[in-house]
Amino acid sequence: MTKMSKTKIEKRIARQKKRIARQKLQKIMGSGPKLWSVPIPKHTLPQVGGKVRLYHYTPIANVGSIMTHGLIKGDVLRDNYGLGNWNAPNLTSENTFHNPANRTITKEVEDGYIRLEIYFEETDENIVPFGWFDRTYCNGLNRKVIRTANQEGQNNGNIDTQYLYKGFISPKMIKKISVWNEDTGYWDRLSQTQIKELVKEYSLPKLSFCGKNYITYDWLRMCGHSLNDWTGKIEAFYEKTDEYEVFSPLYELTDFINNHLKGSRLGEYKMTVQKMMFERKIEQAFQHIINTYNKLSNNPVGEEWTENLRTRQKTWGKFYSGNPEYQKKVA
């Protein structure tokens, strides 16, 4: 066999493997019933005066965004590959703390969190029982994830007392906000004055990473999961806040990619970016995003775009990070 013949065979095998992989992705992405093709069962929550109450637990730093833009973020797993997740907040009927985001557990797990009490009309048909949804559309994946997390001490709660909401939870629907009192072992309700002070403290517009004062990445947006949105408010939120997001030039590329790629090619992109981000291969992930965007767009990005991203990171480090070592590094 000549060297050229061997090369042709290797290329043919590589193409065949790629085709099989794409067919597998297409099958995964198309599996299961169509979303909302099965009627949502009515909840069994207790009602008072025609209203039902659910809770949401979140870090206190999120209060400014939530009370300004509403409760509009949450990640619902669809499959093991992260190909079709949805954006919807996680709610619970439990008035005791649970940790669905798997954040690092401290000695006092509730410390640094707030509890939101949200009221809905008892007849609201957009209240989705999470356990039912998981069985119907996710093949029980979320139940397995929650069970494993609970076994590891992450306190994810009980999926059968948790709910998703197919719509917008506005600030007006949030009737009470409480903080954990370590001395009494209970959640203390904040006054309206205290809430306004907290919202003001955590709403100051400044350059940040997803509203946080440390480097982090919105991989849910990068992979298009947040754009698969039940609240109908995510895109408007990005339009209002991207000015203050350090990585907004990058997310503009990923939004474009997720809105233009289809089928197995979109699945390949999502899996590649997720794998690189989980393995902390950040530069490789960024370059893959740039290359993918430039193949799709009539306006490819180059050095000017890269320099703009660097400048935004330097500006954050110098003026907003509050870290003397980082400020010195980028000065």
pLDDT at residue 12, rounded to an integer = 61
Is residue 259 a contact partner of residue 219, using CB atoms and an 8 Å limit? no
Higher pLDDT, 80 or 250: 250
**Closest by CA position to 161, among listed 298, 314, 46, 318:** 46
Is residue 102 a contact partner of residue 148, using CB atoms and an 8 Å limit? no
pLDDT at residue 101, rounded to an integer = 61
Half-sphere exposure of 174 (CA within 13 A, CB side): 26
Tell me what the mean pLDDT of segment 38-48 comes to.
Answer: 95
pLDDT at residue 11, rounded to an integer = 61
Tell me what the mean pLDDT of segment 38-55 comes to.
Answer: 96
**Closest by CA position to 41, among listed 133, 118, 120, 122:** 133
Higher pLDDT, 61 or 54: 54
Q: Is the pLDDT of residue 53 over 80?
A: yes
d(CA 16, CA 241): 44
pLDDT at residue 321, rounded to an integer = 75
pLDDT at residue 149, rounded to an integer = 86
Tell me what the mean pLDDT of segment 196-217 comes to.
Answer: 89
Tell me what the mean pLDDT of segment 16-28 comes to.
Answer: 53
Q: Is the pLDDT of residue 46 over 90?
A: yes
**Closest by CA position to 69, among listed 243, 227, 252, 233:** 233
Higher pLDDT, 9 or 299: 299
Share above pLDDT 90 across residues of the chain, in percent, rounded to a whole number: 69
Tell me what the mean pLDDT of segment 22-47 comes to.
Answer: 77
Quick: pLDDT tens for 66-87. Answer: 999 999 999 999 988 878 899 9
Half-sphere exposure of 167 (CA within 13 A, CB side): 9
Quick: pLDDT tens for 280-309. Answer: 999 999 999 999 999 999 999 999 999 999
pLDDT at residue 280, rounded to an integer = 94
Phi first, then psi: what are they for 195, rounded to 5°?
-65, -45
Beta-bridged to residue 47, according to DSSP, are: none
pLDDT at residue 312, rounded to an integer = 95
Tell me what the mean pLDDT of segment 139-152 comes to.
Answer: 91
Quick: pLDDT tens for 91-107. Answer: 999 988 777 666 655 55
Cβ neighbours of 258 (radius 10 Å): 19
Is residue 296 a contact partner of residue 61, using CB atoms and an 8 Å limit? no
**Closest by CA position to 92, among listed 172, 155, 148, 49:** 155
pLDDT at residue 143, rounded to an integer = 95
**Domain spans, the chain:** 26-204, 206-331
Tell me what the mean pLDDT of segment 26-35 comes to.
Answer: 66
Residue 322: pLDDT band by 50, 70, 90 thresholds? confident
